[in-house]
A = this chain, B = another copy of it.
Amino acid sequence: MSKIRIGIVGHGNIGRGVERAITQNPDTELVAVFTRRQPGSIQLLTPQAAVKSIADAKEYQDKIDVMILCGGSATDLPEQGPHFATMFNTVDSYDTHARIPEYCARIDAAAKAAGKTSVISVGWDPGLFSMLRMLSGAMLPEGKDYTFWGKGVSQGHSDAIRRVKGVKNGIQYTIPIESAVDSVRRGDSPQLSTREKHLRECFVVAEPEADQEQISQAIKNMPNYFADYDTIIHFINEAELKQNHSQMPHGGFVFRTGATGTGNENQHIIEFSLKLDSNPEFTANVMVAYARAAYRMNQEGICGAKTVFDVPLSYLSARSNLDLIKDLL
Contacts and interface: CB of A to CB of B under 8 A. Distances in A.
Interface of A: 17, 20-21, 24-25, 45, 97, 100-101, 104, 121, 126, 128, 130-135, 137-142, 187, 260-262, 265-278, 281-282, 284-286, 289, 292, 307-314, 316-318, 321-322, 324-326, 328-329
A258 to B, nearest CB: 8
Given A281-B266, A308-B313, A329 B20 contact: no
Nearest to A104: B325
Contact of A311 (B265, B269, B312): B312
Contacts of A272: 132, 270-273
A130 B24 contact: no
Contact of A317 (B138, B284, B285): B138
B139 A289 contact: yes
Contacts of A312: 309-312
B325 A307 contact: yes
A9 to B, nearest CB: 20
A260 B138 contact: no
A199 B303 CA distance: 50
Contacts of A277: 265-268
A143 to B, nearest CB: 10
Contacts of A97: 329
A101 B25 CA distance: 26
Nearest to A187: B275
20 contacts: A45-B262, A121-B329, A126-B329, A134-B313, A134-B324, A134-B328, A138-B292, A138-B318, A139-B282, A141-B318, A187-B275, A260-B284, A265-B277, A266-B282, A268-B282, A270-B272, A271-B274, A309-B321, A310-B312, A310-B313
